[in-house]
Copies of this chain bind each other. A is one copy, B any other.
Amino acid sequence: MQITDLINSIADRGLELFAFGRGRPWPQGPAGLCRALLSERGEASGIALARELVALYRGLDAAEREAFFTLLAREFGPDHAAIAAAARAFMAEPSASGALALAEAAEPPRRELLRRINMLPEGTEFVIGLRADALDLADGNPELRIVDADLKHVLTDWFSGGFLELRRITWETPAIILEKLIQYEAVHAIPGWEFLRRRLAEDRRCYAFFHPALPNEPVIFVQVALVRGLAGEVAPLLDPKAPIGDPAAADTAIFYSITNTQKGLRGISFGSFLLKQVVADLQQTLPNLATFSTLSPIPGFRRWLETAAPQHEVAAVRDAADDLLPALAAGGIEAVAADKARKAALTGLCARYLAAELRPNGRLVDPVARFHLGNGARLERLNWAGDIAPKGLEQGWGLLVNYLYDPAELERNHEAFVNAGKVATSRAVARQLKPYL
C-alpha cells in the first residue's frame, strides 16, 4: 500500500469511525478526530488526521461550528487537577522550575492541537479561518473566548516579525494577488482594475507583508502616493486619469491607505512594523523624499460630534456643537465652509476629538489616531474637504488628517504618548485645539 493510499485509507476509516454529518448527532466526530490527533496515532498519521479534521470542519454549518468550539473550550483545556497540584507545589516552594511546571500544567492541549494541524501546508490558513470564526462566535458566547485566546496565542508565535517578508506590489505582481487588493481595500475602495493600475503607476507605491505559509495572500498592505508637498485632498490621489508624476521629483510620501486583510489575525499588530520598513525602503530608493506622512480618515468624528459633543464636559465644545449641528444639518459643509468662524470651530472640534477624547480605559477614542500617534507620529494638519465622497462626509464631515512620521522624533513621541499620554501635534493643530481643552 502506498502512503497516499494510506492517507486515503485513514481518511476512509475516518469517515466511518468519526462519521459525522448534518443529519446526525455529531459530538463523537470531531472530538474523536481531535483526540486521535493529540494521541500517539497523531504522531504517526498526523497529516492524514489533520487533513480529515480540516475537511470535516469545512463541511460544518454555523451551529455545528459553535458546537465544535464549545468542544474545544470544554474538553481540550488544561487539566484543572494537574494545575492545582502544580500550584500547590509552587506555593509550597516557589522556584523557577516550579513555575515552569505550573506553566506547562496550565498550557491547554488546544494549542498543541493547533500546532499539529499546522503540519499541513494549508494549516496556517485554516487556523486563521478558525480564529475568524471564533471571534464571530465569541461575541455571543463568552465561553468561547478562551479558545480565541489560544488561537491568538499560537498565531502570534507563527506571525513573528522576522517571518514576514516585505514585498513591493506592482503591475508585474500576479493577478491572483492583485485581485486581493481590490477585495480587501478597506479605506478607499478600488472600483476596478483600471483604478488599481493607476494606484500601481510609477508615482505610487504599494507594499505588503507576506507570510511564507500564505504565499498569495498579503497580510497587510499600504498604498503610498509620491507627491510634492503635503497632500490634503484624497480625490486627486485616487483619480485614474491623473497625470503620472516623476517619482524622483517627489519630496513627500503620502500613506493614504493601510489595510489589514485577515480578520483571524486581529490584535496581532503589523502596521507599525510595516510603516517603518516602508519608510526605510523609500528613503533608500528615493533619496529625494524628505517628508513621510499619512493622509488619514477620521472614522468616528461625526458620530462623536452628534452624540458626545453636545453633552461634553467642556463648555466650549458643547457650545460649538450646539451651533454647528443645525448648520450642518441644514447646509452641510458647504454652508459651514462659507462661515469662517464655524469652519474654524468644526476644525477645532475635530482636533479635540483626535487628540484629547479618551475611552474609559484612558486610550484615545479614534482608532486611527491611536495607531499613528502610538507609533510616534505627529498630528500635523487637518484638511478641510479632504474627502468629500459620501463615506468621507459620513465619517468625518469631509475632514482628513495628516499624521507625520518624522524618523527623528518617532521614538520620543512614542514614549511620551505611551508613558504620559502626551499627543505630539504641530503648532497649527495645537492652536486649533486650544479653545476646546
Contact = CB atoms under 8 A, between A and B. Distances in A.
Interface of A: 1-6, 10, 40-41, 43-45, 47, 73, 77-78, 80, 83-84, 87-88, 90-91, 94, 96-97, 99-100, 102-103, 106-108, 115, 118-124, 143, 145-146, 149, 154, 156-158, 160-163, 165, 171-176, 178-179, 192-193, 197, 212-213, 216, 272-273, 276, 279-280, 283-284, 375-376, 407-408, 410-411, 414-415, 418-419
A3 B178 contact: no
A414 B45 CA distance: 9
A327 B161 CA distance: 62
A160 B3 contact: no
Q: What is the interface of chain A mostly: helix, strand, loop, or mixed? A: helix
Contacts of A157: 115, 154, 157-158
Contacts of A143: 96
Given A157-B158, A212-B212, A414 B146 contact: no
Contacts of A90: 83-84, 87
A120 B119 CA distance: 25
Contacts of A276: 3, 47
Given A96-B77, A161-B119, A171-B174, A411 B91 contact: no
Contact of A176 (B96, B172, B410): B172
A418 to B, nearest CB: 4
A87 B91 contact: yes
Contacts of A418: 40, 43
Contacts of A91: 84, 87-88
A279 B171 contact: no
A160 B158 contact: yes
10 contacts: A3-B407, A44-B376, A44-B414, A97-B146, A102-B102, A103-B108, A119-B160, A162-B213, A172-B216, A193-B193
A162 B121 contact: yes
Residue from A3, A10, A157 with most neighbouring chain B CB atoms (10 Å): A3
Contacts of A165: 212
Residue from A43, A122, A376 with most neighbouring chain B CB atoms (10 Å): A43
B3 A279 contact: yes
A6 B106 contact: no
A158 B118 CA distance: 11
Given A4-B283, A411-B45, A100 B149 contact: yes
